[in-house]
Amino acid sequence: MHPASISDYRELARRRLPHFLYEYVDGGAYGEVTLRRNVADLEALSLRQRVLREVSQLDLSSELFGTRCAMPVALAPVGMAGMCARRGEVQAARAAEHAGVPFCLSTVSVCPLAEVAQGLARPFWFQLYIMRDREFMRDLIGEAIALKCSALVFTVDLPVFSTRYRDMRSGLSGSPGLRRSARRLMQIARRPAWAWDVGVQGRPHVLGNLVPVLKGGGGIEDYLGWIGRNMDPAIHWKDLAWVRSLWPGPLIVKGILEAEDAQAAADCGVDGIVVSNHGGRQLDGALSAVRALPDIVAAVGDRLTIMADGGVRSGLDVVRLLALGARGVLVGRPWAYALGARGAAGVTHMLELLAAEMRVAMALTGCTRVAEINERILARDT
């Protein structure tokens, strides 16, 4: 029996994944204030119900960066998603292709670029972090070009790595040692289905794109130490200009929350931005995308394609962000939950749920096409 909602997938993932892995996917930074705001601020947006509008023919299709999509949704980059299911990023990419939406591979994925590219008929997006090792960044960009990735998503809100208390409590992060490793092994032992399917059959458990620079071999322990040493707090707009000079296709900057930064990104010649607070995993207390989006749309909406993420748990949430001016929506945790619960079949069904919920929201707000979704469908607070 299929789960009825994305919330059901979250619960199924909690039951199937080892505790430390579920907490990594589900958690945020520090006290998780922004994580909760992302969800609550979306839920607080009321929709105007319209009737007798003739909505028998609904069209969810859209175009994102020159590619026709079945709906204006893309699977966001999720680090270590390949641990949620056997070779998880490969499964998710194929589910996204089947659904007709873009998939974005994280720099810190388990499956490397070349593995994900095998067997796909359409190009996928690649997400890149700023790193101290600029030559390695250049190599990754070159590989993404060679594999014909159709867009580069450059994440700029991680110059330093924020503390995530849940990861420390679960044993994923913190001081390395036998006690921490033993805690994780005990959690894995409580999930025998995952231990066999992913733990045994899903090897190698390395971060494929980072193997060339992770001296310990590319495992999770190596990554947790490496990321703290190699994220670059010296990142500046000149680095964005440098990436722009190397990448010939659509360039999308992820992690913008202020109109001034959006304008600076537009001045660098990027093609799009993602209004995002990293899913509440970086600056705790930051604005939600819902709060930040209107000012950014007003500032640069006519200069580039604006996407948004954070707190999306339903197709209604997708419609809410589109109504605020986003042209597309990145979905992160929902696909990770679905992948952890049921693999590629779960991701496929999750996307079907999003589309079905979007159709209901569009029909009951009087919209037959995505282009008709705008601020007029939002109810004003009284």
pLDDT score of 382: 44
pLDDT score of 33: 98
Residue closest to 247 by CA, chosen among 327, 328, 153, 330: 153
- Residue pLDDT, tens place only, 245-279: 999 999 999 999 999 999 999 999 999 999 999 99
Residue closest to 131 by CA, chosen among 120, 119, 123, 139: 139
pLDDT score of 355: 98
- Residue pLDDT, tens place only, 123-139: 999 999 988 999 999 99
Fold of 6-377: TIM Barrel (3.20.20)
Q: Which residue has the tokens 């939406």?
A: 101
40-60 average pLDDT score: 97
By percentage, how much of the chain surpasses pLDDT 70? 96
Burial class (CB in 10 A: 0-12, 13-18, 19+), 219: middle
pLDDT score of 216: 62
How many CA atoms does the CB half-sphere of 274 hold within 13 Å? Answer: 33
Structure tokens given for 168: 């420390």
Higher pLDDT, 230 or 271: 271
219-246 average pLDDT score: 83
Q: pLDDT-derived band of residue 227, with 50, 70 and 90 as boundaries?
A: confident
Strand, coil or helix: 298? helix
Q: pLDDT-derived band of residue 225, with 50, 70 and 90 as boundaries?
A: low
Q: pLDDT-derived band of residue 352, with 50, 70 and 90 as boundaries?
A: very high
pLDDT score of 178: 79
Determine which of 108-122, 152-166, 211-225 has the lowest per-residue pLDDT on average.
211-225
pLDDT score of 174: 74
pLDDT score of 173: 83
Residue ranges per structural domain of the chain? 6-377
* Catalytic residue positions, numbered: 278
| Rounded-to-integer distance, Cα 23 and Cα 167, Å | 7
Residue 33: CB partners within 8 Å, gap ≥ 6?
A: 280, 284, 285
Structure tokens given for 239: 């680095």
Judged against a pLDDT cut of 60, whether residue 56 lies above it is answered with yes
Strand, coil or helix: 75? strand
- Residue pLDDT, tens place only, 165-224: 999 999 988 777 778 888 999 999 999 999 999 999 999 988 899 988 876 655 566 566
pLDDT score of 163: 92
Tell me the average pLDDT of the chain: 94
pLDDT score of 289: 96
17-35 average pLDDT score: 97
By percentage, how much of the chain surpasses pLDDT 90? 87
Judged against a pLDDT cut of 80, whether residue 381 lies above it is answered with no
Residue closest to 89 by CA, chosen among 115, 58, 55: 115
